[in-house]
A and B are shown apart, each in its own frame.
Chain A
Amino acid sequence: MTVTADAPLELEAPPQPRYAERPLGVLTRPQGGRGWRDWLSTVDHKRIGIMYGTAAMFFFLVGGVEALLLRLQLAAPDGSVLGADVYNQVYTMHGVTMVFLFIMPLAAAFANYFIPLQIGARDVAFPRLNALSFWIWLSGAIFLNTAWIVGGGGADCGWFCYTPNSGVAFSPSHGVDFYAIGLQILGLASLISAINLIVTCLNMRAPGMTLMRMPVLTWMLLITQFLLLFALPVITVALFLLMFARLFGAPFFDPAAGADPLLWQHLFWIFGHPEVYIIILPAFGVVSEVIPTFSRKPLFGYEFMIFSGIAIGFMGWGVWAHHMFVSGIGPISVAAFSLSTMFIAVPTGVKILNWLATMWGGRLRFTVAMKFAVATVAMFTIGGLSGVTHSVAPADTQQTDTYYIVAHFHYVIFGGGVIGLFAGLYFWWPKVWGYMLDERLGNWNFWLMLIGFNLTFGPMHILGLQGMSRRIDTYAAGYGFELWNMVATVGAFLIALSMLVFMVNVWKSRRTAASRPAPGPDPWDARSLEWSIPSPVPEHNFDEVPVVRGRDEWWHRKYGIDDDGQVVRVATVEEAAQRGDAVGVHLPSPSFWPLAMAVGLPLIGYGLIFNLWLAVIGALIVIASLYSWAFEPVDDPDADHGHGHDEGHDGGGESGDGPGPDDAVGEVETAETDEPAAVGASEGQS
Chain B
Amino acid sequence: MTAVGEDPVKPRPGAVRGLFRSAGAALAALVGLIVSGCAADAELDTFVPQGPIAEELHSRAVVPVFAIAGVVFVGITVAMVWLIWRHRVKSHSDGDWPRQTHGHVPLEIGWTVGFLLTMAAVAVIMLVALPTVDGTEANAVAVDVDGREVMWEPTVVVVGNQWWWEFRYYLSDQVDLAALREIGDAQALPPADIVTSGQMVIPTGEEIELVVTARDVIHSFWIPALNGKRDAVPNRFSPWKIEASDPGVYFGQCTEFCGLSHSRMRMQVVALDPVDFQAWVDRTIQDAAVPADAAARRGMDTFAGICTSCHLVEGVNDETYAANGADQASGAAPNLTHFMSRTTFAGGFLNTYNPDGSLNRAELEAWLRNPDGMKANYTVPGEQFRGMPDLDLSEQQIDDLVAYLATLGRPPAGWVIEATEVLE
Contact = CB atoms under 8 A, between A and B. Distances in A.
Interface string A324-336: 0011100100110
Given A339-B123, A397-B133, A401-B220, A465 B46 contact: yes
A471 to B, nearest CB: 4
Contacts of A628: none
B255 A401 contact: yes
Nearest to B49: A398
Contacts of A335: 126-127, 130
A385 B126 CA distance: 15
B423 A342 contact: no
B87 A331 contact: no
Contact of A342 (B83, B101, B126): B126
A560 B100 CA distance: 11
Contact of B43 (A477, A479, A484): A479
A465 B34 CA distance: 9
Interface string B48-85: 00000000011011100110111011001101100110
Given A298-B100, A392-B122, A565-B100, A466 B42 contact: yes
A565 B3 contact: yes
A397 B227 contact: yes
Contacts of A399: 46
A170 B329 contact: yes
A277 B256 CA distance: 24
A88 B135 CA distance: 36
A395 B65 contact: yes
Interface residues of A, number: 110
Interface in A585-622: none
B122 A566 contact: no
A364 B98 CA distance: 10
Contacts of B70: 385
A504 interface: no
A359 to B, nearest CB: 5
Shortest 10 CB-CB contacts between residues of A and residues of B = A397-B228, A467-B44, A480-B40, A328-B238, A472-B263, A567-B97, A480-B42, A462-B37, A301-B103, A476-B423
Interface in B105-150: 105, 107-108, 111-112, 115-116, 118-119, 122-123, 125-127, 129-135
A389 B238 contact: no
B392 interface: no
B362 interface: no
A566 B103 contact: no
Given A165-B218, A565-B100, A356 B79 contact: yes
26 contacts: A157-B257, A158-B257, A162-B218, A165-B257, A169-B384, A170-B217, A296-B98, A298-B102, A300-B101, A304-B108, A326-B230, A327-B233, A328-B233, A350-B108, A353-B108, A356-B79, A361-B87, A363-B89, A381-B73, A382-B73, A388-B65, A398-B224, A402-B46, A465-B47, A477-B423, A481-B42
A465 to B, nearest CB: 5
Most-contacted residue by chain A among B2, B187, B384, B386 (CB, 10 A): B2
Interface stretch (A17-25, A254-262, A510-518): A254-262
B17 interface: no
A164 B384 CA distance: 15
Contacts of A354: 103, 108
B394 interface: no
Interface of A: 78, 83-85, 88, 156-158, 162, 164-165, 169-172, 255-256, 260-262, 295-298, 300-304, 326-328, 331, 334-335, 338-339, 342-343, 345-346, 349-350, 352-354, 356-357, 359-366, 374, 377-378, 381-382, 385-386, 388-389, 391-402, 459, 461-462, 464-481, 484, 525, 549-550, 556, 559-561, 565-567, 569
Given A298-B100, A461-B34, A469-B253, 14 more contacts: A78-B424, A156-B259, A300-B102, A327-B231, A328-B238, A335-B130, A346-B119, A356-B83, A357-B9, A361-B98, A365-B92, A388-B65, A388-B119, A466-B42
A342 B216 contact: no
A567 B65 CA distance: 45
Contact of B57 (A171, A342, A357, A398): A398
B57 A397 contact: yes
B233 A261 contact: yes
Most-contacted residue by chain B among A84, A464, A559 (CB, 10 A): A84
A481 B66 CA distance: 22
Given A350-B111, A525-B92, A469 B65 contact: no
Interface string B379-399: 010011010000000000000
B295 interface: no
A466 B329 contact: no
A517 B38 CA distance: 54
A38 B222 CA distance: 57
A352 B46 contact: no
A378 B257 CA distance: 31
A7 B98 CA distance: 38
Contacts of A78: 424
A169 B57 contact: no
B236 A260 contact: yes
Contacts of A326: 220, 228-231
Nearest to A305: B103
A275 B71 CA distance: 29
Nearest to B224: A467
A468 B38 CA distance: 12
B104 interface: yes
Nearest to A165: B217
B29 interface: no
B61 A394 contact: yes
A342 B117 CA distance: 11
Contact of A297 (B37, B42, B100): B100
Contact of A393 (B1, B130, B231): B130
A164 B92 contact: no
A399 B46 CA distance: 8
A461 B224 CA distance: 16
B279 to A, nearest CB: 30
Contacts of B216: 164, 170
Contacts of B423: 476-479
Nearest to A569: B94
B125 A392 contact: yes
A389 B2 contact: no
A303 B112 CA distance: 13
B418 interface: no
Interface in B256-285: 256-264
A234 B99 CA distance: 47
A559 B101 CA distance: 15
A85 B61 contact: no
B132 A394 contact: yes
Interface string B228-260: 111101111010000000000000011111111
A303 B101 contact: no
Contacts of A298: 2, 100-102
A297 B384 CA distance: 66
A206 B68 CA distance: 46
Contacts of B132: 394
B17 to A, nearest CB: 17
B60 A84 contact: no
Contacts of A462: 34, 37-38
Given A391-B126, A395-B62, A398-B228, A84 B261 contact: yes
B134 A331 contact: yes
A334 B228 CA distance: 14
A459 B115 CA distance: 28
B91 interface: yes
Nearest to A390: B65
